Structure 1
Amino acid sequence: MKGYPFVRYAAALAAGIVLYGQWPSLIWIPAGAAVLGLGFFIGYFIRYRNQVVKPLAAVQGLGGLLLLLAAGWCLTYERTASNRPDNLLHLTDTLQAYTGVVTAQPEERAKTYRVELAIRQGRWQTGSNSDHPATAWHPLSGRVIVYIDKAIGQIPRYGELWLVNGSPRSIDPPLNPGEFDYKRYLHYRNIYHQQYLRPFQRQLIGYDPPSRITTWATSINRLADAIITRQVGNRAEYSIVNAMILGVRDDLDPALYRAYSAAGAVHILSVSGLHVGILFTVLTYLLSFLIRRPRGKLIMAVVQLIILWFYALVTGLSPPVLRSAGMFSMLIVANALGRQQQLLNTMGASAFFILCFDPYALFSAGFQLSNLAVAGIGSWQSTLSQALTFRYRFLNKLWELTAVALVAQLITFPLGVFYFHQFPTYFLLANPAVMGLSFLLLPLAMATLALGWVPYLNDLLGWLLQKTAWLLNWVVVQTGTLPGAVWDGLWLSAGGMLLTYAVILGAVALVLTRQREYAWATCLAAFLLGVLIVWDEYEQRHQQTLAVHFLPHRTAVSLTAGHKSLLLTDLDTSDTRSYDFYLKNTFGQWGIGQLSLLDLRQSGDSALADSPIRTFYRHRDYMLCVWQGKTIMLVNKLNRYTHWRLPAVVDYCIIRRNALQHWDDLKGRIVARHIIFDDSNKTPLTDRLLAEADQRGFVCYSVRQMGAYVAELK
């Protein structure tokens, strides 16, 4: 780290950000770090105050890093919207209406537009006199994710000022084990509320964009979209170009997206530092003839900067592109000034300034993966690529691309599994072709946008762009359909991820240095990782779990024994999106290797053909089964016209489909030790029944309010 000062600076700043994220109320952390850091500095200057040339000292550097740590904590506090007293989060009265401005380019969904609003004013009732409350407009801050019906017609624009009736609600935490934490993801973007709007709840009252630069960027983005639509045409190729160039994935077919994921090329579909790096590499190659001319480096730098920042504008100033454009701009300026280029130090400088502007970028998976990939490539790629040489230049170039893919995949593998729980088996087969075609597609797309006004040439460029996108799709789809293309269902805990990194880094250091200490460290990390894996396997093999999952407006009950699970559900098998978002991670975390489905919509015993349940009875109003010595009952209907009753005590009674309207309906019918409401019941009805149960002095459970119900049956 001696030659990479900005790596140290960024690490110290990141440490302060992490400490704030863990302990935001402990003000003594930055205060203590600042006092200690200043103490080191003052002590250093007192000790060497009489010397003209002061030596470098470790205590001085440690003092500076402690000051940066304190600065990271304070920056994060200052950039956290919930710390503002006028934030919507602190409002205790019921918000009746608010005004807000569209602060990001809206996204198009199947039935709605997803819009991000920044609140400016709110209206609510104030005053202690409840008979004559005062209603007035007050300054209010906060950001809200709004979903509005497409019936409004035209997609909203950045900068529109809205008057919205109603009150946003807090974003729900994850309600199933292992489910993606959408609340935390939005929290890192300082968004704490969301609202679903009918068209009549929103009124357009003006146009006041917060940033003229962003307005310009969104206009360029829309113009670029129109050009690509005209020149490419075909939906499959258009959606890929749109995703790679503009960052818009609204038209991307889900099957095609899964094929890219299976081929290990899904990163191509999100505008990121990779795209900026490809453009930088291509521009450096195309403009290399300028280096030998007078002021050629300066001209080359200016052209590169113009094109890179034009691409940033085309993407609508996407945050990942902004981060990478900043890093490559530093490389370009350093090269133009004849300064020595150190990729790791440049990466550290880029990360440092990004975190100064947006501390919460540290918790972004994209930020973490891109910086890890750059760090790995900068440290190891050269050594790996030089380990093999070929007689033919083409093979050498192909090996260099393969070495980049190997290093990037190796260094990001644990973090990728931690976040996405899968690994592409054939990434080495697909990545060289994908990277090569991307090196062709991105410059072609930029040329199509820049020369779209030139007759005939625009048609030629559009045709080439469409064929390149078609070939890219073909390569990816063919790779994704190979047997065993995706190693799915992987699960790493935070501890397992850190131990995996310890093994990887220790092994690489051992190969590069041949020092015995790294061998011992690698063996120790591998041993601890093995113990963790064996313990997890032991717990999963002996697990016996009943779970009532949260599934919006549906029933999902799982019976798990070891690595096998039976899911009782009324979810349509074609609705893979709901399963993937709400349930897939749960079964992955539990290590389920065999998942069977029992469709609650089917009648008769045909649905039980492959079921592990042996004691089972189904009635049109309820379903009763015995599993692992526990009696489980799913109630579909309870009313005055049905007079059935169960002359026994059940262990778990699951109420579904609004079957229970009043608690008295259970008298003389069912006695249950545990009563659970799934989300197929209407929320107002469940809330009323829970309140009545609390008044009567007995306990019941709602997955909508409390999250998935999980019972260990050991």
Structure 2
Amino acid sequence: MRFSDYPFLRYLPFLIVGVLFTRVELSIPIPVLIGTVIVSWGLYLVLIVQKVGQNSLSSAFLGYFLIFSLGYSLTLLQKERAAASKDENLGDSISYLARVTKHDVEKPNSFENQLEVIATLESMGWKKSHGKVLVYHKSKTPLIPGQVILVANSPDRISSPTFPNEFDYSGFLERKGIHYRQFIGEKFEVFDSSEVNSFTYRLANFREKLLGIIEAKVPNRASQQIAAALLLGQKENLDKDIKNAYAETGTMHILAVSGLHVGIIYAILLFPLKGIRIKSSQKRIYLTTVILLIWVYAILTGFSPSVIRAATMFSLFTVGQMRKRCPSSFNILAFSAMVMITLDPTVIYEVGFQLSYAAVAGILLIQPLIVRFWLPPNRVLEYLWQLTAVSIAAQLTTFPLSVYYFHIFPTYFLIANLFIIPLSFVVMSVGISFLALSWIPLLGAGLGGMVSGLIWVQNWITHTIQLFPGGNMERLTITFSGMLLVWGMLIIWANWEFGNRKKLVYLMICLFLVWTGDRFFRELNRPEQELLIFSGEKGILLDFKLGNRYFSWNESFPAEQISFSVDPNRIAEHRPHLIDPILAFADDSLTHFSVWNFDFNPRSKTFYWKGQHPKQIEEISSLKVRQLTQSDSLKASIAAFRVVF
């Protein structure tokens, strides 16, 4: 098959590049952009209607440019809507009225919820407002979607990450439209509850009712949490130990409602058609009902990227069945991605979106190659081998992303998935029956007990595999060029037998040159001696690099903050997890370091370069690097600094 046989697979990269191009700071007026797109459309339609150069580079260029412009325009429009959806003065208000949009999520010391601001009280009185606020409260009475509450005081803006490679929590929430958060305790008053039972919040209330059924009829608490995650996509209340167990065994995807779960639902719904002959018109009606039920399930479980992708793909496959056609899986995969990006361009930055599409692409490309290595002698072994091939293929294409974002790799993922995936299929089959028949007293209690027991077994297997020695490789890193190299090698492997081998060899050479060049320039620009300064609100931490040796010094920097603010940079820079402390000598108000012979004043957070003066001083963050003027001292504000000697 030629690449040109997959049109949506060809269009997708141009749409993604259009979205990414908005990160380049260009001040293009919207009217100019719209005019350019209209003129391009006009030229493209003229070429198509007159059949002039239909297969020429000019028409192809215009077509791809229009797809690029679509991604660029949609992203700009979304940014404008996002900017208009927040009130910049919300942080200065005296108090505000807001509508509750979700049910409470239990946290260790409070309850989390989300508010949509309606109006704010300022010095001149009340005025209409807008924006989303993440709140934490300690009220014994839960907040219910649809309630309007009066909140005292103003919320705080969510600050950007301070240190390099630190997780951008503010950016994560900003993509959800949330720019403020506030601990309100019990300093709020329910102002209105008339909208609680309205149609807008009926789905959220129905989901909460199903959660109540699980909590009431599934006896074991750990089983309740897994059942809520498996059946309803509610994983906010999962205990930390359970999350770690599933993450370290490579089965975390079981707890996030994804294509696997939609596939199980799809298989259950299509099971009645096996072995039964019905009229084509009746089959169309049934398959249409299956599509509707899949989308109802997608909406019920929160509409995550992986669920939307799976629901779109299964819907298109089902439509193909009704039309007695077999559409290309790659075309369907690319089309579903284009639909999601068109609806929400920023979805390409979500880790779930990237992992979901990488996993499915790996299964489509690599799984058939792995299956060919062995021909099992019976159906049981064939089923296990097919499942093994799927797990290996998905892991091969997703492990670069897992290492890039999470820096871990589960060694026993294959063993764990061989047990957990079939068991989760049984759990979901029984669980769906349980939710549907829970209103029948004895039957509902019996099915709830079965769900609890099956999940207990699933958890026991997961925790047992977690205890295997060497089960989790940690502190791994990979560069973007490294990811391209891995994916390029997989594509070459997948196309080696039928593709143009000469071009594939050229591709491999280019990928190795890019990867090698990237590593060379990184090593070339890596200084032999440097000091990294992490200056926070409560203290300061210093990381020393002397050739291949690393040392650290801590001045009141909170230990619990190191793991998420400093450690990501240490991992990215290949520093060891446990760093030896360095000797320093306190003298009056100064601390003296014999390395490079400099002094530090903890009170003023000022460094005095007495001996070897720095060659370069930079203020660094996750987004930018700013060169500082050379001087005999450095006053460290709340930021990170790199001092090169």
Q: Same fold (TM over 0.5)?
A: yes
Q: State the 1:592 CA deviation.
A: 1.3
Change in Cα spacing, 1:537 to 1:278, as seen in structure 2 (3 Å) is: farther
Give the aligned partner of residue 76 of structure 2: 77
Give the aligned partner of residue 195 of structure 1: 182
Instruction: Give the 3-state SS of the residue equivalent to 1:192 in structure 2.
Output: strand
Q: Decide whether the 8 Å contact of 2:532 with 2:640 is kept in 1.
A: no
Change in Cα spacing, 1:65 to 1:521, as seen in structure 2 (3 Å) is: closer
**Are 2:155 and 1:163 aligned?**
no
| Identity between Structure 1 and Structure 2 (%) | 26
Letter in 1 for 2:77: E
1:120-519 equivalences under 5 Å are 120-125=118-123, 135-146=124-135, 148-150=136-138, 152-200=139-187, 202-207=188-193, 215-285=201-271, 287-290=273-276, 295=281, 297-318=283-304, 320-510=306-496, 512-513=498-499, 515-519=501-505
Q: State the 1:107 CA deviation.
A: 2.7
**Are 2:40 and 1:37 aligned?**
yes
Q: Distance in 1 between matches of 2:63 and 2:362?
A: 27
Q: Distance in 1 between matches of 2:513 and 2:48?
A: 47
Q: State the 1:263 CA deviation.
A: 0.9
Q: Distance in 1 between matches of 2:402 and 2:484?
A: 12
Q: State the 1:415 CA deviation.
A: 2.1
Q: State the 1:566 CA deviation.
A: 2.9
Instruction: Give the 3-state SS of the residue equivalent to 2:376 in structure 1.
Output: coil
Give the aligned partner of residue 105 of structure 2: 107
Change in Cα spacing, 1:322 to 1:86, as seen in structure 2 (3 Å) is: closer
Q: State the 1:99 CA deviation.
A: 2.4
Kindly provide the CA deviation profile for residues 430-453 of structure 1, in whole angstroms up to 9, marking residues without a partner as x. 222221112111222111111112
Identify the match of residue 636 of structure 2 among 691, 701, 710.
701
Kindly provide the CA deviation profile for residues 38-68 of structure 1, in whole angstroms up to 9, marking residues without a partner as x. 254144157448xxxx966664454333223
Q: Decide whether the 8 Å contact of 1:145 with 1:193 is kept in 2.
A: yes
Instruction: Give the 3-state SS of the residue equivalent to 1:445 in structure 2.
Output: helix
Letter in 2 for 1:7: L
- Output the TM-score relative to the length of structure 2: 0.85
Gaps of 5+ in 2: 610-632
Kindly provide the CA deviation profile for residues 604-654 of structure 1, in whole angstroms up to 9, marking residues without a partner as x. xxxxxxx553x44469x97845252334xxxxxxxxxxxxxxxxxx2x223
Q: Distance in 2 between matches of 1:483 and 1:373?
A: 27
- Output the TM-score relative to the length of structure 1: 0.78
Q: Distance in 1 between matches of 2:369 and 2:338?
A: 27
Q: Distance in 2 between matches of 1:211 and 1:630?
A: 69
Q: State the 1:493 CA deviation.
A: 3.2
Moved more, 80-89 or 363-372: 80-89
Q: State the 1:180 CA deviation.
A: 0.7
Give the aligned partner of residue 545 of structure 1: 531
Instruction: Give the 3-state SS of the residue equivalent to 2:468 in structure 1.
Output: coil
Letter in 1 for 2:37: A
Give the aligned partner of residue 558 of structure 1: 543
Kindly provide the CA deviation profile for residues 148-200 of structure 1, in whole angstroms up to 9, marking residues without a partner as x. 232x1233222222323333333211112211111222232233333332422
1:659-670 equivalences under 5 Å are none
Q: State the 1:82 CA deviation.
A: 5.6
Q: Decide whether the 8 Å contact of 2:161 with 2:170 is kept in 1.
A: yes
Q: Distance in 1 between matches of 2:342 and 2:607?
A: 56
Change in Cα spacing, 1:486 to 1:136, as seen in structure 2 (3 Å) is: same
Letter in 2 for 1:583: V
Instruction: Give the 3-state SS of the residue equivalent to 2:27 in structure 1.
Output: coil
Change in Cα spacing, 1:399 to 1:286, as seen in structure 2 (3 Å) is: farther
Q: Distance in 2 between matches of 1:671 and 1:184?
A: 31
Higher RCO, 1 or 2 (CA under 8 Å, sep at least 6)? 2
Change in Cα spacing, 1:192 to 1:250, as seen in structure 2 (3 Å) is: closer
Q: Decide whether the 8 Å contact of 1:100 with 1:119 is kept in 2.
A: yes
Letter in 2 for 1:524: C
**Are 2:563 and 1:628 aligned?**
no
The higher radius of gyration belongs to 1
Q: Distance in 2 between matches of 1:17 and 1:7?
A: 16
Change in Cα spacing, 1:556 to 1:374, as seen in structure 2 (3 Å) is: same
Instruction: Give the 3-state SS of the residue equivalent to 1:708 in structure 2.
Output: strand
**Are 2:608 and 1:673 aligned?**
yes
Q: Distance in 1 between matches of 2:217 and 2:90?
A: 53
Identify the match of residue 92 of structure 2 among 91, 94, 116.
94
Q: State the 1:506 CA deviation.
A: 3.3
Instruction: Give the 3-state SS of the residue equivalent to 2:4 in structure 1.
Output: coil
Q: Decide whether the 8 Å contact of 2:100 with 2:116 is kept in 1.
A: yes
Change in Cα spacing, 1:38 to 1:193, as seen in structure 2 (3 Å) is: same
Q: State the 1:268 CA deviation.
A: 1.7
Change in Cα spacing, 1:109 to 1:220, as seen in structure 2 (3 Å) is: same
Q: Decide whether the 8 Å contact of 2:366 with 2:490 is kept in 1.
A: no
Give the aligned partner of residue 588 of structure 1: 571
Q: Decide whether the 8 Å contact of 1:540 with 1:563 is kept in 2.
A: no
Letter in 2 for 1:97: S
Letter in 1 for 2:359: A
Moved more, 34-43 or 168-177: 34-43
Q: Decide whether the 8 Å contact of 1:563 with 1:591 is kept in 2.
A: no
Gaps of 5+ in 1: 126-134, 597-610, 632-649, 661-669, 675-697
Q: Decide whether the 8 Å contact of 2:317 with 2:326 is kept in 1.
A: no
Q: Distance in 2 between matches of 1:671 and 1:292?
A: 82
Kindly provide the CA deviation profile for residues 514-557 of structure 1, in whole angstroms up to 9, marking residues without a partner as x. 6122123213323432453465467668353242353x746544
Instruction: Give the 3-state SS of the residue equivalent to 1:289 in structure 2.
Output: coil
Instruction: Give the 3-state SS of the residue equivalent to 1:702 in structure 2.
Output: coil
Q: State the 1:84 CA deviation.
A: 5.1
Change in Cα spacing, 1:368 to 1:287, as seen in structure 2 (3 Å) is: same
Q: State the 1:105 CA deviation.
A: 4.1
Give the aligned partner of residue 66 of structure 2: 67
Change in Cα spacing, 1:271 to 1:580, as seen in structure 2 (3 Å) is: farther
Moved more, 321-330 or 271-280: 321-330
Change in Cα spacing, 1:290 to 1:349, as seen in structure 2 (3 Å) is: farther
Q: Distance in 1 between matches of 2:524 and 2:197?
A: 56
Q: Distance in 2 between matches of 1:159 and 1:345?
A: 41
Q: Distance in 2 between matches of 1:210 and 1:21?
A: 40
Q: Decide whether the 8 Å contact of 1:540 with 1:591 is kept in 2.
A: no
Give the aligned partner of residue 28 of structure 2: 26
Q: State the 1:571 CA deviation.
A: 7.1
Instruction: Give the 3-state SS of the residue equivalent to 2:578 in structure 1.
Output: strand
Instruction: Give the 3-state SS of the residue equivalent to 2:118 in structure 1.
Output: strand
Letter in 1 for 2:399: F
Q: Distance in 1 between matches of 2:255 and 2:91?
A: 43
How many residue pairs are counted as aligned between the two chains? Answer: 620
Q: Distance in 2 between matches of 1:375 and 1:517?
A: 21
Change in Cα spacing, 1:246 to 1:560, as seen in structure 2 (3 Å) is: farther
Q: Distance in 2 between matches of 1:319 and 1:41?
A: 33
Q: Decide whether the 8 Å contact of 2:113 with 2:134 is kept in 1.
A: yes
Instruction: Give the 3-state SS of the residue equivalent to 2:415 in structure 1.
Output: helix
Q: Distance in 1 between matches of 2:519 and 2:526?
A: 11
Moved more, 533-542 or 443-452: 533-542
Moved more, 324-333 or 291-300: 291-300
Q: Distance in 2 between matches of 1:336 and 1:250?
A: 38
Q: Decide whether the 8 Å contact of 1:563 with 1:593 is kept in 2.
A: no
Change in Cα spacing, 1:170 to 1:528, as seen in structure 2 (3 Å) is: same
